[in-house]
């Protein structure tokens, strides 16, 4: 099962999984979406791999690292989180509500689209 984490709960999740390695927020949105709005790494590393190319770029991630998946509203990132779990990633979460919720809960300077 993939854990659902609201943006406001992300810091707590990152802290809980930090003993397993440096946490990664994996933004799976398309490049044009990243130009509209993006998060800044704070307590995690930020990696961007669009959902459609993840299967060929999965080697850029370590299955031992905790990964929290992010997209626009949480649908694509949930699919990616399930995909990572099926590939042996142990510590995976979906950021529920995506960057839209991130803007509403954590950083209103992030554009909503």
The residues annotated as belonging to the active site are 71
Dihedral-angle region of residue 81 (phi above 0 means left; psi in -120 to 50 means alpha; beta otherwise): alpha
Contact by Cβ (8 Å): 20, 63? no
User: Which two tokens mark 69?
Assistant: 């998946």
């Amino acid at each position: 099962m993939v854990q659902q984490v609201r943006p406001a709960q992300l810091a707590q999740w990152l802290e809980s999984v930090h003993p397993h390695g440096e946490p990664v927020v994996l933004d799976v949105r398309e490049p044009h979406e990243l130009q509209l709005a993006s998060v800044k790494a704070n307590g995690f590393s930020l990696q961007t791999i669009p959902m459609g190319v993840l299967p060929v770029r999965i080697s850029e991630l370590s299955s031992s690292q905790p990964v929290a998946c992010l997209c626009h509203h949480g649908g694509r990132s949930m699919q990616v989180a399930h995909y990572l779990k099926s590939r042996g990633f142990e510590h995976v979460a979906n950021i529920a509500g995506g960057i839209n919720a991130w803007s509403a809960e954590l950083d209103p300077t992030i554009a909503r689209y």
